[in-house]
Structure 1
């Protein structure tokens, strides 16, 4: 009965009610979006690198190793000797490894020395693989692959030649102009640091700096576990022509048999993730050299904890917007009290008590907020579906799951509870007015 009266009263004042409803929808939608995206951003951040079980580098600290290997921020204090890389390659629990060499830049973007294994094994978000928008990986020591942001900002195409520079600044006084690289592929956008990288072969980076190849040449790819037929494949390799050699290289084989003397870091994939802690302990206690092995998921969560204040700030701004909307709702109900004195008097005349008038005003407020929450749920859910691909490509935000979660239910419950508490102000005013209401307007 009270809900029917509340609905009829709101319909009579539909213009002002619609404006108030609009503000409620905006504020609740913002609150729901921030709460949902906040959780998704946290999950996506902790999955910036999701296909790597262990990261190995010099013992410079867990966060420092994570920052320079994944986010390309800072530099290692020392490299990892190739003999130690060979030990990791032969480890029974290591399924694959990806080398990372840093130290150069191209017009402000970091240059990463690596192999085709990087494009094959590196994953982000919900275990999504890197893909090429055009071109492909390395088929020559002088090939380069660039991220989506590098291609967009510098207007590069496949086939363009680039020159890398020593150092990390946008301005360098030492350009390796005698050793240009040809762009062989451009990666699709990921919204991760991979978009800002210029990737070259380890052998190409080594030759740029004038380093001579080491003498311990490997018979097989230094970045890929050999299968049962690897020896036969090596013996038959001499009979393949250059075209076949390039096709094989594209699928992850080393382009040159001479490994570099040292690298900056390694990404490891294990045959069993259950053994991650055991392998980490073995690497950290490796006797021949000082190495540091970290679990990227743990390090990313630790790094996110340092930035949690930004998360709390966003939530606080949304709460302030909701409070302003609730104040607008109270103002609307209070402003209509004088206009509704005769309505209240009629309700009193047909037997409605002061308590009924109080509950009527609260029912109107809760009805407006409930409709606003329902519209907000629908609008935010539709927006997440429509913009899911854009959020993934632009910001690396992988939208997974439904908006109808426990956190969203708590948000709506808090909004309705706040509305009920705030509605006491106009409801009590209506209650007092009802005690003295008459059939004539004063």
Structure 2
């Protein structure tokens, strides 16, 4: 029976290939949308762990989280460093991590911070940062690279690099080339925006902007003259907060939000992420509905092809009957053919989706900071693949039943 079915499908290779293509594309679209949706959520959720509050200038919760944690967008304003120091002493706060953003290097963001960043920053399931090579910065003009920065740009320990003014794209026209930095550390991969960041001290951020006013260079200052300047930070962009106890969360958040010296926002990362998913929820549903309709169209196309081929195969079915095949054999032949097409189409669609995800992963990582990786079918994807297989098998029942009902005389009678 299997050999007979394969021979029959080979004789109709063009229509079989078209049917497989339609099913595979439909399944690949559904799987691709689902994988991007789930892995995007996972990538965002794994970026920050163990941080209770994210504090920045007064703005929307989502905007604050995006620019301070995910390096997307820019801050509406900065925070006075004296305000930060005072708030860091608030009762209930265990540690803080200051962040100064605004500069870049060949398209990658530069973060000004202090050594608490390497002590307290956590990602994933409370995983701490580790060094693949070297150590944290200790001198003024030393830089620690994220894993992707070092890999993509080919930097090694001891290499020199120049930072650029502004957090724009890969091209910048204003460089701090009078103050080169030396690579002293390279972090292990994390799968988060940390991999795409360069880390320097807060004092280094002040140093490279010495002689600047209003975002423009007023006069040049080289590395030898920098000791004449006070490098105490004046402002920072945001800071992360870890609490001694979760019970103090609301009190600390209220104290920061009601700070009188300047308007601030203290955001719970989990709630800001929930806001993001709620914002994107309707778009996710729309994509899922469109994908489901595409799968339905693919299965309908398979059913249409099988029904259309019955007229051409009437004589084939009748000859099989004349050679001793019973109605049950004819039914099983056509039903198994539909089930096999659904199975191969589903598997091809899954492989196609994984290939597209693998091909687009570098672009998604570089442009949007999303970590996309091929994965085994689980959850919604597994149920969808099973559903396509069952629906495709059921779709084969109708043409199989029609062939089952055809009589031997009907197939051998010549119709004019």
TM-score bucket of the superposed structures, by smaller chain: 0.7 to 0.9
1:300 has 2:273 as partner: yes
Q: Which residue of 1 aligns with 2:305?
A: 331
Relative to structure 1, the CA distance from residue 418 to residue 136 in structure 2 (aligned partners, 3 Å threshold; closer, same or farther) is same
1:155, 1:400 → 2: CA distance?
26
1:171 has 2:172 as partner: yes
Q: Which residue of 2 aligns with 1:291?
A: 264
2:250, 2:311 → 1: CA distance?
67
Given candidates 318, 322, 343, the residue that maps to 2:317 is: 343
Contact 2:318–2:408, Cα closer than 8 Å, also in 1: no
Question: Any residues of structure 2 matched to 1:387-406 within 5 Å, and which?
Answer: 397=371, 403-405=377-379
Relative to structure 1, the CA distance from residue 80 to residue 165 in structure 2 (aligned partners, 3 Å threshold; closer, same or farther) is same
1:199 has 2:173 as partner: no
Q: What is the deviation of 1:11?
A: 4.5
2:57, 2:277 → 1: CA distance?
22
Relative to structure 1, the CA distance from residue 20 to residue 209 in structure 2 (aligned partners, 3 Å threshold; closer, same or farther) is closer
2:264, 2:190 → 1: CA distance?
30
Contact 2:101–2:111, Cα closer than 8 Å, also in 1: yes
Q: What is the deviation of 1:304?
A: 4.3
2:135, 2:294 → 1: CA distance?
49
Given candidates 241, 246, 255, the residue that maps to 1:282 is: 255
Q: What is the deviation of 1:349?
A: 10
1:74, 1:27 → 2: CA distance?
35
Q: What is the deviation of 1:178?
A: 4.0
Aligned residue pairs total: 386
Contact 1:145–1:183, Cα closer than 8 Å, also in 2: yes
Relative to structure 1, the CA distance from residue 381 to residue 56 in structure 2 (aligned partners, 3 Å threshold; closer, same or farther) is same
Q: How high is the TM-score relative to the length of structure 1?
A: 0.68
Question: Any residues of structure 2 matched to 1:202-221 within 5 Å, and which?
Answer: 202-210=202-210
Q: Secondary structure of the equivalent of 2:383?
A: helix
Q: What is the deviation of 1:437?
A: 2.6
Contact 2:354–2:374, Cα closer than 8 Å, also in 1: no
Q: Secondary structure of the equivalent of 1:168?
A: coil
1:320 has 2:315 as partner: no
Q: Return 5+ residue gaps in structure 2 as ranges.
A: 212-229
2:250, 2:408 → 1: CA distance?
73
1:154, 1:209 → 2: CA distance?
25
Contact 2:53–2:240, Cα closer than 8 Å, also in 1: yes
Contact 1:34–1:318, Cα closer than 8 Å, also in 2: no
1:62, 1:10 → 2: CA distance?
60
Q: What is the deviation of 1:30?
A: 6.0
2:407, 2:113 → 1: CA distance?
79
Relative to structure 1, the CA distance from residue 53 to residue 259 in structure 2 (aligned partners, 3 Å threshold; closer, same or farther) is farther
Question: Any residues of structure 2 matched to 1:22-421 within 5 Å, and which?
Answer: 23=21, 28=27, 31-32=30-31, 34-169=33-168, 170-173=171-174, 175-210=175-210, 260-273=233-246, 275-307=248-280, 309=283, 312-313=286-287, 316=290, 320=294, 323-324=297-298, 327-328=301-302, 330-332=304-306, 334-335=308-309, 338-344=312-318, 347=321, 361-362=334-335, 364-366=337-339, 368-370=341-343, 397=371, 403-405=377-379, 407-416=380-389, 418-420=391-393
Relative to structure 1, the CA distance from residue 321 to residue 360 in structure 2 (aligned partners, 3 Å threshold; closer, same or farther) is same
Q: Secondary structure of the equivalent of 2:242?
A: strand
Contact 2:96–2:116, Cα closer than 8 Å, also in 1: yes
* 1:54-92: CA deviation from partner (whole Å, max 9, x where unpaired): 100111221221222123344333322334323443334
Q: What is the deviation of 1:202?
A: 0.7
CA root-mean-square deviation: 4.5
Relative to structure 1, the CA distance from residue 64 to residue 30 in structure 2 (aligned partners, 3 Å threshold; closer, same or farther) is closer
Relative to structure 1, the CA distance from residue 83 to residue 415 in structure 2 (aligned partners, 3 Å threshold; closer, same or farther) is same
Contact 2:104–2:165, Cα closer than 8 Å, also in 1: yes
1:199, 1:317 → 2: CA distance?
42
Contact 1:122–1:129, Cα closer than 8 Å, also in 2: yes
Q: Which residue of 1 aligns with 2:214?
A: none
* 1:231-273: CA deviation from partner (whole Å, max 9, x where unpaired): xxxxxxxxxxxxxxxxxxxxxxxxxx98523311001122344
Contact 1:191–1:392, Cα closer than 8 Å, also in 2: no
Contact 1:163–1:177, Cα closer than 8 Å, also in 2: yes
Contact 1:30–1:318, Cα closer than 8 Å, also in 2: no
Relative to structure 1, the CA distance from residue 75 to residue 404 in structure 2 (aligned partners, 3 Å threshold; closer, same or farther) is closer
1:177, 1:327 → 2: CA distance?
62
Contact 2:159–2:183, Cα closer than 8 Å, also in 1: yes
* 1:126-145: CA deviation from partner (whole Å, max 9, x where unpaired): 44443334322112222111
* 1:290-339: CA deviation from partner (whole Å, max 9, x where unpaired): 22111122223333444553785487458636744662464256436533
